[in-house]
């Protein structure tokens, strides 16, 4: 059976294209904040944000963007969850001064959470 070079090329291109799309979706999520929440010492206003993370292993670099502007970058710990997250969600805690501080991001449809490092949370709180 002979296979032509163009068909091999098209198959390889399709395979590479589909894996690139899949890899791009794995590390993206959205975040809808319902209240002013502090991350990295910066108060993020209620609204829609895009979350991306990079890295292999349990520690990753997380970037939060609103539109095309990067509003926060921080380290987080990836923790596996027992079940898939039903939807995009986040966790926060109350600061002694009453403000909210981001503690975790739960990407919808995935079995992970992105937990801010405990030292990171106290730094964010101290910086406000």
β-pairing verdict for 37-39 and 100-106? parallel
Identify the bridge partners of residue 80 per DSSP, sorted by sequence position: 112
pLDDT at res. 7: 54
Residues 6+ apart with CB under 8 A from 65: 49, 50, 51, 52, 71
Please name which of 110, 121, 128 lies closest in space to residue 30, comparing C-alpha atoms: 110
Determine the Cα angle at 120 with ends 35 and 99, to 5°.
25
pLDDT of residue 57: 83
Query: Per residue in 43-77, pLDDT tens?
Result: 999 999 999 999 988 999 999 999 999 999 999 99
Residue ranges of the alpha helices (H) in the chain? 5-26, 118-127
Provide block-wise average pLDDT over 10 residues at a time, the chain (128 residues).
56 49 65 94 95 92 96 96 96 91 96 79 36
């Amino acid at each position: 059976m002979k296979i032509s070079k163009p068909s091999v090329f098209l198959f390889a291109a399709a395979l590479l294209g589909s894996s690139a799309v899949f890899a791009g979706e794995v590390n993206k999520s959205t975040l809808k904040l319902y209240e002013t929440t502090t991350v990295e010492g910066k108060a993020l206003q209620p609204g829609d944000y895009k979350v991306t993370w990079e890295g292999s292993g349990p520690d990753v670099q997380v970037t939060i963007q609103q539109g095309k502007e990067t509003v926060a970058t921080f380290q987080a710990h990836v923790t596996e969850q027992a079940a898939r997250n039903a939807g995009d969600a986040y966790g926060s805690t109350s600061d002694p001064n009453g403000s909210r501080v981001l503690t975790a991001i739960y990407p919808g449809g995935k079995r992970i959470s992105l937990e801010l490092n405990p030292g990171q949370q106290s730094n964010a709180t101290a910086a406000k």
